[in-house]
Structure 1
Amino acid sequence: MGISIISNATKHSLKKKRELEDLIRKKGLTLSEKNPDIVISIGGDGTLLAAFHRYVHQLNTIRFIGIHTGHLGFYTDWRDYELEELVDSLAADVDNSSVSYPLLDVQVNYTDQRESKHFLALNECTIRRVTGTMVGNVFIKGELFENFRGDGLSVSTPTGSTAYNKSIGGAVIHPQINALQLAEIASINNRVYRTLGSPLIIASNEWISIQLESHNDHVLSVDQLILSEENIKQIDYKIADERIHFASHRHTNFWSRVKDGFIEGTELKDELM
């Protein structure tokens, strides 16, 4: 078993990374940055997102584990004081057990001769207009659904439903449901222009296309990646063929994560700097 460890830049997380590396070596396990079987992130959800995109071309052979160092995260099942227990569980892992969740497939097409771009997102992809109202036709499974006017649109995965999607009024979806969610960002609704004004849950055999009326000054975000794009003609979204796999030595109940994160608010110490 090869293990790669990715940490954020805080002193505390870097210290825990060194401790984890020592424990892994002592247990006779192998550290492998190039071709790992397990990728462990130390930090928060942002660190796991960075790890995901670093190994996005190896998703079929990798399982992820998240360790949080100060703040409860939706992708982190282990605390920083449980390193020995984590390494013991890795050493005893003989069946490569995992749980997998859907990803978002994004294809960006342009009006000029540029080749289309392809991305995978763990959380969401948003499209916005920089200097004015974004105008675009929204198609679902190839049929026109609405003409959108507003700040932008966000398409999210179930695991991403608790991130930016939730802050703009989207629904929280259990990550074992194969679905996409389309949420509006400050849509314009009056006697002249109308949109549904509610989040849409898109089934696994459907897809979303957004055809933009203006082809300049858009900002496209794919998880943490932000791109200023010109000449975008259309963006297509669907559930990806690939999935993310989490090692299931311990996997916290999703609704417990939601309750702790948004309702009860587990008290945790701030990260040590």
Structure 2
Amino acid sequence: MRGLQDKVAVIAGAAPGNIGGASAKRLAEEGMRVVAADLNEGAAQAVVDEINAAGGTSVARGLDITDENSYRDLVTFTVDRFGGLHGLFNVAADLSAATIGRDSDVTSVPVDVWQHTIDVTLTGYMYGIRHTLPVMIRQGGGSIVNTMSSAVWLGETERVAYQAAKSGLIGLTRHTASLGGRHGVRANLVSPGVILTGAALSTTTAQWRDEMLATVRSPRLGRPDDLAAMVAFLFSDDGAYVNGQSLLVDGGASFT
């Protein structure tokens, strides 16, 4: 991709085997200097170790995305360490059984699950944009990518908190695209379909994966690298005229 060499990226939600970890590695391969951040700093460090062993430049940081001070400190650290911030990828999510496993429908979802999901997936992403956008405007440009979900378009009968939080990112992202666009800062959404992350592979059966494959207009299910490639494009000069868009990366499972 053009225009990524020596630029600086923050991945909020980077761990081995997931979309954030794959994106951190892909961006480092493209020549970006990467700050891999995760609630589990040890997981982020594992990604960084792999990047640096391959000749890339990356550092790990802990991030509690629900804490504005934590996100502010991450942005400040990045700018102090590398002199700028050119790409932010918000991909963190709480997919633990305690949260996603209790995220039922609108008639029964526990309020604590609802609030925590909003805190992580919507308010947390807002914190990142709030502290990144001024940096990008001052330096004359940048790219912000938020992670939505194809579940928003499908209208599932469960996971109402997850869908509501992800839906809210449409307004947040378009607002950011409008606010930053004239200053050279773009904001877009990527919406994954079924992606075979490490967690997905360990918690699903071959039968379930076959059933999901039958819903996709492609010969395979998605991989974290598929999202990483889209993020690299949106961060790059090749994506310079893409702003305020919601991009489905789901193998053709859904049309919008």
Instruction: Judge same fold: TM > 0.5, yes or no.
Output: no
TM-score, normalised to structure 1, is 0.27
TM-score, normalised to structure 2, is 0.29
1 or 2, which has the higher strand percentage? 1
